[in-house]
Amino acid sequence: MEMVTIEKILSYDRSGVKPVIVRLLEPLGGMGAYVKPGELVLLKPNMLSAKPPEAAVTTHPEVLRAVIELVQEAGGKAVVGDSPGVGRFTTVAAKSGMMKVVEETGAQLIGFHDSVEIYGSGLFKRFELARPYLEADRIINLPKLKTHEMMTMTCAVKNLFGAVVGTAKAAWHLKAGADREMFARMLLEIYLLRKPDLNIVDAIIAMEGNGPGSGDPRQVGLLLAGVNPVAVDVIAGELLSIPKNLLYVERAAGRLDLEGADRTAIITSGLPPEQARISGFRLPHKSDLQWGLPPFLKNRLRHYLTPRPFAVMEKCRLCGICLAACPPGAITITESSLHFDHRKCIGCFCCRELCPYAALDIREGPLLSFIKKYV
């Protein structure tokens, strides 16, 4: 049986976060069960982009602070690392408030720049993952609970995609991102190559709507923890009442018969799920009908059924961040406008995820718009 613990907490007040995390970890054996004296412990928060804590884009610094202190009290050496989707690592660390916490606690900040080639035994045979991620004695995964326009939800498993360094993320989106279920399989294979020792989810203020970078903060008031990130994600999806058919990572884990995918084999501790459940949590814009189609129809109708990004020019500053982030090169910029080649677009929404000005929106595919209008 897998265990996921749930605790209620309504704010990021420094004096309150650490005691709740201690209580959260007690049924799992406490921090001492995962950190031994002298071990190098990598804390992997969500450091998507340079946004302030109140934007709910990144793991909150007070959650990070509490975990660093618990690691240090257990005798471990805490290092904080990630590879942001956009922007310099130090800039993201400073803007998100994490750099200040690292300095105040005496932990170490380490960007994921150097990668190591590692071979898998699944569908994808070769990965390049961050050296600090692979060489740490222990990994504590600190995801932010958010919606995700491509995968519906990003939590513990998806946060491990940060082990892929820099621009290599775009290559994986291009290779696997045209099919959500294949992308989910890729995420799971990364997880299986180097499993985190512990997962602690920041869901005090989560993100709903068009996450992971352009959604709206939503008070959920919860912290979750577990050893198995698949089980943690299953419970997180249940608490947000997300339909199972929209949870692509969990569906892929079920097909692979991975531990943690079966809800009946997960026990919870702390706040009962029925008391923790959140109602009315807004999911990303969903107008994509292609994912249930057989492959021979999916390939023919993809362009006509899938939602597509477009620029809101009154907000767009033509900064080029989306251009650099687009895996298939579907974006061009002129002196006065931004254009999408929707025949090339794979629907990964990296452009929207990383746009710092919320200048990209979504339109329905032309065939779906026609169906809604006339049928």
| Domain match, 296 and 268 both | no
Residue range 200-228: mean pLDDT, rounded: 97
Report the CATH number that the domain containing residue 54 is assigned in CATH: 3.40.50.11440
- Separation of first and last alpha carbons in the chain: 48
| Domain match, 249 and 353 both | no
Q: How distant, in Å, are the alpha carbons of 188, 251, 252 from that of 258?
A: 9, 10, 9
Condensed to tens digits (0 to 9), the pLDDT of residues 130-141 reads 999 999 999 999
Instruction: Output the six-digit token pair for 347.
Output: 């629907």
pLDDT at 223: 99
Please check the confidence at residue 297 and state whether its pLDDT lies above 60.
no
Condensed to tens digits (0 to 9), the pLDDT of residues 105-135 reads 999 999 999 999 999 889 999 999 999 999 9
Condensed to tens digits (0 to 9), the pLDDT of residues 5-62 reads 999 999 999 999 999 999 999 999 999 999 999 999 999 999 999 999 999 999 999 9
Residue 283 falls within a domain, yes or no? no
Residue 306 pLDDT grade (very low, low, confident, very high; cuts 50, 70, 90): low
**Rounded Cα–Cα distance for residues 103 and 80 (Å):** 11
CA angle 349, 58, 180 (to 5 degrees): 30
pLDDT at 328: 85
Burial 230-259 (b: 16+ CB within 10 A, else e): bbbbbbbbbbbebeeebbbbbbbbbebebe
Report the CATH number that the domain containing residue 345 is assigned in CATH: 3.30.70.20
Instruction: Output the six-digit token pair for 36.
Output: 């031994």
User: Could you tell me which of 252, 286, 35 has the C-alpha nearest to residue 122?
Assistant: 252
pLDDT at 101: 98
Give the range among 271-280, 314-323, 359-368 with minimum mean pLDDT.
359-368
Residue 282 falls within a domain, yes or no? no
Give the largest CA-CA distance in the chain.
67
pLDDT at 70: 99
CA angle 22, 24, 25 (to 5 degrees): 70
Residue 304 pLDDT grade (very low, low, confident, very high; cuts 50, 70, 90): low
| Domain match, 149 and 183 both | yes
**Rounded Cα–Cα distance for residues 221 and 224 (Å):** 10
pLDDT at 292: 47
| Domain match, 7 and 150 both | yes
Please check the confidence at residue 90 and state whether its pLDDT lies above 90.
yes
Give the range among 127-141, 206-220, 336-350 with minimum mean pLDDT.
336-350
**Rounded Cα–Cα distance for residues 145 and 54 (Å):** 14
Residue 285 falls within a domain, yes or no? no
Condensed to tens digits (0 to 9), the pLDDT of residues 145-172 reads 999 999 999 999 999 999 999 878 888 8
- DSSP label of 246: G
Please check the confidence at residue 295 and state whether its pLDDT lies above 70.
no
pLDDT at 286: 61
Domain end (from 247, 276, 305): 276
Total domain count, the chain? 2
Burial 178-197 (b: 16+ CB within 10 A, else e): bbbebbbbbbbbbbebbebb
Please check the confidence at residue 362 and state whether its pLDDT lies above 80.
no
Range of the domain at 137: 2-276
| Domain match, 58 and 203 both | yes
| Domain match, 40 and 158 both | yes
Contact 133, 140 (CB under 8 A): no
Contact 194, 135 (CB under 8 A): no
Task: Name the percent of the chain lying above pLDDT 70.
Answer: 91
| Domain match, 330 and 185 both | no
| Domain match, 112 and 242 both | yes
User: Could you tell me which of 20, 54, 70 has the C-alpha nearest to residue 201?
Assistant: 20
H or E element, residue 241: none
Instruction: Output the six-digit token pair for 184.
Output: 């989910």
Give CA 139 to chain center in angstroms: 16
**In the structure, how many helices (H) and strands (E) does the chain have?**
15, 16
Instruction: Output the six-digit token pair for 215.
Output: 């959604």
**Rounded Cα–Cα distance for residues 373 and 362 (Å):** 17
Contact 228, 259 (CB under 8 A): yes
**Rounded Cα–Cα distance for residues 214 and 193 (Å):** 30
| Domain match, 145 and 187 both | yes
- Output the DSSP codes for 185-211: HHHHHHHHHS--SEEEEEEEEEEESST
Instruction: Output the six-digit token pair for 361.
Output: 């929106």
Domain end (from 251, 276, 301): 276
Residue 281 falls within a domain, yes or no? no
User: Could you tell me which of 78, 87, 89, 92 has the C-alpha nearest to residue 41?
Assistant: 78
| Domain match, 265 and 308 both | no
| Domain match, 64 and 195 both | yes
3-state DSSP assignment of residue 58: coil
Domain end (from 239, 254, 276): 276
Task: Name the percent of the chain lying above pLDDT 90.
Answer: 71
In DSSP terms, 340 is beta-bridged to: 331
| Domain match, 129 and 29 both | yes
Residue 284 falls within a domain, yes or no? no
- With the CA atoms of 243, 248, 253 and 255 taken in that order, what torsion angle do they form, in degrees rounded to the nearest 10? 90
Please check the confidence at residue 227 and state whether its pLDDT lies above 50.
yes
**Rounded Cα–Cα distance for residues 308 and 108 (Å):** 41
**Rounded Cα–Cα distance for residues 206 and 216 (Å):** 8
Contact 327, 166 (CB under 8 A): no
